[in-house]
Structure 1
């Protein structure tokens, strides 16, 4: 029996225990503001962050992996309770191997969300490779799933919700929002 693409993606998602997010172009729209003092700032989507918190509430782990280094990424990760933060890795496979070693997870248990050429080596290794809609074209052929939303504009939230729904965890982590007395 031949599996449909949907079934194949579903099987990949069911195995996911950790989602690794790139930063620039995935958790942000790719814009970098450089201030006069040389410091940088980025804009993150609050709904993406809430999606990441929902994943954590469901027991999945989150990691951030960026080729660049920026203090605001550390602050954002800390605010979301993300312990696995790897910045300044121009060879992202090195950081990916460190994440695997520290968590004990296997390739098929990992998802990665990227947007540019630097992300391809990790995308080729993980069990569920994702790219955002506005990723560079060359990256899309390495993705098992391409988001309907752009990076920094809800793409991370889309992935979080997809994983939670496929794994049957969505209602367990969101029911309190739909009750008459959410306390």
Structure 2
């Protein structure tokens, strides 16, 4: 029954997903599992899923604008953003709605064509600034309740990759990719 409900959620969101121009991603709990690891010198380390990285690359190639928006800091997020060619990496952000509004103005993008994927209470603050609020399966209950759809995957374990597939399907780009595979066409 739960799988059927999830399927219905995504069918209802298909039109909105097809219109997405900007995907903004929280980092800790979405691109990572939310754990913070410290090496013996006290330097922060984070684990990112390579499947999420491929999902991000697929969305970039499809022409979407992508951004990281995180309250956390530590350097690992910036490194991952550079690896993936994310031009908008906002870390240490205390006021997510204000940062998102600035980004939307900078990119000349409306709320209706903006999607946000987050996992915790601080991500709910952007709810009224986006057309779609999405969340990994292990997000806090309050976010799951208010999200337009809940992914099957957990944060840091392919949630962004799963979302990328939904977006690409909605935009009519998935069939060719799943049939012919993908080649990185960025120089």
Instruction: Tell me by how many angstroms 1:40 deviates.
Output: 0.5
Matches within 5 A, 1:3-152: 8-152=12-156
5+ unaligned residues in a row in structure 1: which ranges? none
Number of matched residues?
Answer: 176
Residues 114, 131 of structure 2: 8 Å contact kept:
yes
5+ unaligned residues in a row in structure 2: which ranges? 1-7
Once residues 31 and 54 of structure 1 are traced to their aligned partners in structure 2, the CA distance between those partners, rounded to angstroms, is 26
Once residues 25 and 78 of structure 1 are traced to their aligned partners in structure 2, the CA distance between those partners, rounded to angstroms, is 20
- CA 175–57 in structure 1, closer or farther in 2 if over 3 Å, else same: farther
Once residues 40 and 174 of structure 1 are traced to their aligned partners in structure 2, the CA distance between those partners, rounded to angstroms, is 36
Spell out, residue by residue over 1:152-180, the C-alpha distance to the aligned partner (whole angstroms, 9 max, x if none): 0111100001000111122455554279x
Residues 123, 130 of structure 1: 8 Å contact kept:
no
Once residues 102 and 111 of structure 1 are traced to their aligned partners in structure 2, the CA distance between those partners, rounded to angstroms, is 16
Instruction: Tell me by how many angstroms 1:98 deviates.
Output: 1.6
- CA 178–40 in structure 1, closer or farther in 2 if over 3 Å, else same: closer
Once residues 141 and 128 of structure 1 are traced to their aligned partners in structure 2, the CA distance between those partners, rounded to angstroms, is 13
Scaled by the length of structure 1, the TM-score of the pair is 0.89
Residues 135, 149 of structure 2: 8 Å contact kept:
yes
Spell out, residue by residue over 1:8-47, the C-alpha distance to the aligned partner (whole angstroms, 9 max, x if none): 4112112200111100000000010123333201000001
Residues 65, 86 of structure 1: 8 Å contact kept:
yes
**SS of corresponding position for 2:146:** coil
- Aligned alpha-carbon RMSD (Å): 1.8
- Show structure 1 runs of 4+ deviating over 3 A: 4-8, 171-176
Spell out, residue by residue over 1:110-148, the C-alpha distance to the aligned partner (whole angstroms, 9 max, x if none): 000000000001133200110110000111122001000
Match of 1:177 in 2: 181
Match of 1:162 in 2: 166
